[in-house]
Amino acid sequence: MVAISSVAAEAWEGWAYLDDGVLIASRSRKVCMTCHWFRHQAGVTCIPQLTCQLHQGLIGQGQHLTYRCQGWTDDMVRQRGWAPEVS
C-alpha cells in the first residue's frame, strides 16, 4: 500500500501551477472545487495540494473557490446520484 501511495504522489508532485491562461474567474458554483476533475492530496509536509486531473496541474490555495476552466464538468455523483455503478 505504501508503494502505491508514493507512486500516486509522484504523479502530481511534478505538475506546474495552472495560470490565467487556463483558469477563469467565476462567481457561480462552477468553480474548481465543484468540478469532477478536482482532487486534493496531502503533500510531503502534509499541506494540502489542490490538483486538476484534467489539466494535470496544481491549483493555488484559494483559487479552487473562485476560478474554473473551460473544461469544468459537474461532479458525476451529482449528475447520476450516489453509486451509479450499482444501478
Reported pTM: 0.74
Chain Cα centroid distance, residue 11: 13
pLDDT for 33-84, tens place per residue? 999 999 998 888 888 899 999 999 999 999 999 999 999 998 776 666 665 5
Provide mean pLDDT across the span 16-37: 94
Q: Where exactly are the structural domains of the chain?
A: 2-76
Residue 31 — very low, low, confident or very high, per pLDDT cuts 50/70/90? very high
Please give the pLDDT value at position 86.
Answer: 52
